[in-house]
Amino acid sequence: MSAAPITSTDWPPYLDKATLDRMLRQWLAEDIGPGDVTTEATVPPDQQARGLFLAKANGVVAGLQVAARVFQLVDPDVRVCWQQADGSRVTAGTLFGTVEGRARSLLMAERLALNLLQRMSGIATATRRLVERVRPYGTKVLDTRKTAPGLRLLDKWAVRLGGGTNHRLGLYDMILIKDNHIVAAGGIREAIEAARRYREQHRLDIPIEIEAQSLEDVDAILATGGVDWILLDNFARRLPDGTLDVEPLREAVRRIGGRFHTEASGNITLETAEAIAATGVEAISCGALTHSVQALDLSLELSLQAAL
């Protein structure tokens, strides 16, 4: 007897279902092209099959709703039943879902569904590990724009399912003044004042964040004011002996004193995250969550059923 379907209500506000369908149809067309010649040549059109989704490693499953939609777009008669929810922890050997329908349909949808499941689950797993490492300090784990082109919305959804916090989606929903912007603007004060004028002139309800690379930069930002976040980039540094020096970060957080939100970036790993969080910084951002993702090992094993 199959388990009742489990669904997640954590649908991200930045991805509507029409956009998801458009993306999936494009990727299905890329894979299937004019037709799956191997399946058409070897599998009878009325052959029915059942597939078992199995975890082959410990981790967090993510992308279940996305994978189910892949099968439905290939064949609306395919039935997908999840036995875990998006964002659930699984161990190697866990059966986390089943799929039933025409064997041809399952085979055509299999690769895209698994590719997305494995990538999203890998991101969610890495995020969950980092979130748990800094949980005692109440530190948020933020994602970045270091995502695979075309996959940003799914990458960020996976971070969300792993317990992380989505930061800016793109260049349009936050003013983030980095070091090169500061150089081009003529300095920290000039960059902040220009950003504030732009936000006011265009009546934008978006935050302003600025990067600091030294305690002198922090002092200049504090003297100017007018921002919402300060990005403390590489304030935690590796010393020649391999140890991590977090004192500059701790001092920066002390000087800011809660007047602005604080984000630390650079040298964020599972090994360093706790020491960085212990400085009192509000959030840490980690590009490796999405740019260096290790896919979670998942499989779909098919067996034949009697034709209906």
Catalytic residue list: 111, 146, 178, 211, 233
Hunting for tokens 């004019």 — which residue is that?
34
Give the Cα separation of 237 and 243 in Å (integer): 8
Bridge partners of residue 59, in order along the sequence: 90
Give the Cα separation of 65 and 85 in Å (integer): 9
Length of the chain, in residues: 308
The closest alpha carbon to 267, from 252, 287, 281, belongs to 287
The sheet carrying 79-82 orders its strands as 79-82, 95-102, 48-55, 298-305
Alpha helices in 88-187 (DSSP H): 103-134, 152-161, 179-185
Alpha-carbon separation of residue 56 from 84, 113, 119, 121, 158 (angstroms): 15, 16, 14, 12, 19
> For residue 141, what are its two tokens?
């784990």
What radius of gyration, in Å, describes the C-alpha atoms of the chain?
Answer: 23
Phi, psi (rounded to 5 degrees) for 110: -55, -55
Exposed, middle or buried, 171 (CB in 10 Å: 0-12/13-18/19+)?
A: exposed
> For residue 173, what are its two tokens?
């929903």
> For residue 10, what are its two tokens?
């954590």
Q: Which helix (H) or strand (E) holds 29?
A: helix 17-32
> For residue 153, what are its two tokens?
């919305």
Helix 17-32 to helix 64-74 angle (10° resolution) is 60
